A and B are shown apart, each in its own frame.
Chain A
Amino acid sequence: MKKRSFFPSFYLILITVIMYLPILFVMIYSVNLSKLSSVWTGFSLKWYRDLFRDRNVGTALVNSLILGGVSSLAAAVIGTLGAIGTARTSFRGKGAMEYIATLPMMTPEIILGMIFLAFFSLLGLPFGMSTLIISHTAFCIPYVFMQVKARLAGMDKSYEEAARDLGAGRARVFFDITLPLIMPGIVSGMLLSFAMSFDDVVISIFVTGVSVNTLPILIYTQLKTGVTPKVNALCTLMFLATLLIVVLSALIGRLGNKKKA
């Protein structure tokens, strides 16, 4: 029999535990009867009930969904066009431009937040949903850009040439050939963007103003007044929702790759 080392599996388990144990605790305490986070007194869905009754949570959720939806959609359009533009043309400074396009991903969020704040004040834009959408779109674009660019790089140019050869004009080639072939990249970039937007707190706090609350901002402000198990319940739901999106994004990416092969 082959001798198996026990270390790799141990290592894997350790990492998983360290990563997921805190989340597990939050999940457990979200169904705790006690108001205190540290004592277990029994199972209850009381906090979930409270959560769903809370008007503020409802509006914040709707705000977050609108924000995530609109900005990931906008990022999908702009990011895709940018990726096609850089992949299918060549010009001086193209490499630099591609690097600049992904810069927001590497810039610390707090700095991005300040930049947006200063920029919007300078323009005199009223703070609220519109500024949230603009800033979220901006930091989501790189995710779509990277995904679509990778997809285009792996795509043979002869598909587009064959379509033109068969009589299709440029626009037709784009909608019939290019778009369907890069769609998995767009969708997975979009889902990633949505997840990023949905849990963003730093940038949002800078540009939201007073009237609009998103879910992460709500949680953050509630923490300041003390952690209630209601927040645990909310965090559990948000975690599960994010997990769902990430898994979906990965599945779509894989599906696209399989088709390509």
Chain B
Amino acid sequence: MSEPILELRNIIKTFSEGPVLNGISLSVEPGEFITLLGSSGCGKTTTLRIVAGLETCDSGRVLLEGRDVTDEPPERRGVNMVFQNYALFPHMSVEANIAYGLKIRRRSRADIRRAVADALALVQLPGYEKRMPSELSGGQRQRVAIARAVVNEPKVLLLDEPLGALDLQLRRQMQIELKRLQKQLGITFIYITHDQEEALNMSDRIAVMKNGVFQQIGSPAEIYDRPKNAYVARFVGSANILKGTAETRDGRLCLSSGGVVCPVTCYGAEPRAGEALTVAVRSEYIDFLPEGAEGFPATVKEKSFAGGMLRLALERPGGEEIVASRHGIDSDLMPGESVRFTFAPEHAVVVEAGDET
């Protein structure tokens, strides 16, 4: 295993309004695309600013390529950041903006001109050198901001919700381009977003954050298929949560809820029979059963279409809502109908177990 390019060790940060980071640790491999995912106020931007050196931490260490940079000012860290609002210098041309970091490093004029042209070509804005930031569209500013950062060949590129201000279509396009750019340059990306779809699309690894703590760090597939807790399951891909008690049948762990028993999968320590159990099931894995078969009873509340998917909102007798989704739009089920549903054991993942929950 190679040495991590960035390491956060037990970072704690408290603002006057309260604690923001409660001891987070993270190790990032060179060339990795890692996303910090969480809703606003979870501490992801603060984490990024601490890595950049724009914020100090109360305790903990920041290591870049094994070197402790905790007390170094931002200008001596060798990381670059793409700001959420781009922060292009309004009094400088696109060229001067991109050249700024190189000028400080006293590179020769010819070098700078070539590097700026290359960077602009990289973000597909060739020939834009003389424009002023005020003459660019939002998407173009975004590209210039990226060019200004990557031209310095940073060890780590920090991106703070870089696509947040763009419209959906442009976002999708920029997602693909950013990913291409990252592969092409081989730079480590630390990317912040609150959009789980964006995170799943782009990342090598995702760190789901809540209340200044990493809830789970893993590949998109791991996060999606094996959520560690109910928060992750709900936040990433809005999974259904079913609560009940643990039971063992034919040597298999099962969930017993409302008198129905169904086998489930547990990746952690298996709970004993009779303990409380919470299971997450993605909406696309909810299967409907024919009349009379054993399954969880529910009533269809709502039927809607979104993005080529049929979405059925069900209500269980206890009032819990379950969402089922299907490709295509063919379904005979109508609101008000009673149904029975179940799920394959491999798609029902235990997210919480034990009596404390």
Contact = CB atoms under 8 A, between A and B. Distances in A.
Q: Is the interface of A mostly helix, strand, loop or mixed?
A: helix
B288 interface: no
B299 interface: no
A164 B85 CA distance: 16
Contact of A159 (B54, B79, B81, B89): B89
A164 B75 contact: yes
A161 B83 contact: yes
A177 interface: yes
A247 interface: no
Interface string A146-186: 00000000001011011111111100100011001100000
Contact of B104 (A167, A181, A260): A167
A167 B75 contact: yes
B328 interface: no
A165 B54 contact: yes
A119 B258 CA distance: 89
Nearest to A180: B91
Interface in B100-116: 100-101, 104-105
B88 to A, nearest CB: 8
Contacts of B142: none
Max chain B C-beta neighbours (<10 A), residue from A167, A181, A260: A167
A3 interface: no
A245 B154 CA distance: 48
Given A156-B85, A158-B85, A161-B54, A166 B80 contact: yes
Contacts of B79: 165
Nearest to A169: B75
Given A162-B87, A180-B91, A167 B105 contact: yes
Contacts of B87: 156, 158-159, 161-162
A193 B335 CA distance: 75
B90 A181 contact: yes
Contacts of A261: 134
Contacts of A156: 85, 87
Given A167-B101, A168-B75, A162 B81 contact: yes
A260 B134 CA distance: 8
B80 A165 contact: yes
Interface string A247-261: 000000000000111
Contacts of A168: 75, 100, 104
A164 B54 contact: yes
B100 A166 contact: yes
Interface string A37-48: 000000000000
A181 B54 contact: no
A164 B75 CA distance: 5
A165 B104 contact: no
A167 B100 CA distance: 9
Interface string B123-146: 000000000001000000000000
Contact of B89 (A162, A164, A169): A162
Contacts of B104: 166-168, 172
A94 B94 CA distance: 38
9 contacts: A161-B54, A163-B89, A165-B54, A166-B100, A166-B148, A167-B104, A169-B73, A181-B90, A259-B91
Interface of A: 156, 158-159, 161-169, 172, 176-177, 180-181, 259-261
Given A164-B74, A167-B76, A168-B100, 12 more contacts: A161-B74, A165-B54, A165-B75, A165-B79, A166-B75, A166-B152, A167-B75, A167-B104, A176-B100, A181-B90, A181-B91, A259-B91
The 10 closest A-B pairs by CB, nearest first: A166-B101, A158-B87, A162-B87, A167-B104, A164-B74, A167-B75, A180-B91, A165-B81, A158-B83, A161-B54
